[in-house]
Amino acid sequence: MPKKKKKRADADRPKLEWSVDPETAREVIAVILVVSGAIFLLSVMGLAANFGRAILGLLQYLFGWLGFFLSIAFIKEEATTNHNKGN
């Protein structure tokens, strides 16, 4: 004879809604781009110590010489994203 399943206590709780406002998502992406661009820029300039050398090595491995321009592209993309969000 099979055992009866116990009713879970969390079954009565309402489900959480994980939707995010598009403007909030855009702001989060902008912050991530600025921070990663700043870290990349510091690593290219040799000002981020051992962590910077590791990041620079990763950038050069993934993108070659184009890795040097990646930090500038991230920061420029963030500026463009925030500038055009007024629509």
Residue 52 included in any domain: yes
**Number of compact structural domains in the chain:** 1
Does 2 map to a domain? no
Output the six-digit token pair for 62.
Answer: 């993934």
Domain that holds residue 28: 22-86
Q: Is residue 14 part of a domain?
A: no
Question: Whole-model pTM?
Answer: 0.57
- Each residue of 13-51: pLDDT tens digit? 677 777 888 888 888 888 888 888 888 888 878 888 888
> What is the token pair recorded at 76?
């420029």
Q: Has residue 77 been placed in a domain?
A: yes
